[in-house]
Amino acid sequence: MKLTEQQRTYWRRTLQLTVALLSVWFLVTFGAGYFADELNRYSFLGFPLGFYIFAQGSLLTYLVIIAIYVHVMNRLDRCHGVGERR
C-alpha cells in the first residue's frame, strides 16, 4: 500500500513527537537516578533532592508527558482528518 504525502507527513510528525517525549522520559527516569548522589546533597522540603525528584517530580513529569501527547496527537489527528468523530 502506498502512502499519500499527507499520510507520510502524519506518520513523520507522530514519530517525531514520540521520540521527543520518550527522550524526556528517559532523561527524567535515568538521568535523575544517575545524578541522585549529587542531588542528595541538597534538600527540598526536608527531603533529599534526589529522593524528592523520584518520588514527586518524575510522576508529575510523566503526567505532563501524557497530557502533551494527548493534546498534540488530537490536534494532529484533526489536522490530517483522522480524528475520532464524536
Give domain status of residue 14, yes or no. Answer: yes
pTM: 0.80
Give domain status of residue 57, yes or no. Answer: yes
Look at the chain and report how many structural domains it folds into.
1
Structure confidence at residue 45 (pLDDT): 85
Give the separation between CA 10 and CA 70, rounded to whole angstroms: 15
Give domain status of residue 86, yes or no. Answer: no
61-78 tens-digit pLDDT: 999 999 999 999 999 999
Give domain status of residue 71, yes or no. Answer: yes
Q: Which domain holds residue 74?
A: 5-80
Q: Give all strands (DSSP E) within the chain, no chain letters.
A: 43-44, 47-48
Show Cβ contacts of residue 4 under 8 Å, excluding neighbours closer than 6 positions.
Answer: none
Give the separation between CA 36 and CA 52, rounded to whole angstroms: 10
Structure confidence at residue 44 (pLDDT): 84
3-27 tens-digit pLDDT: 788 889 999 999 999 999 999 999 9
Is residue 11 a contact partner of residue 3, using CB atoms and an 8 Å limit? yes
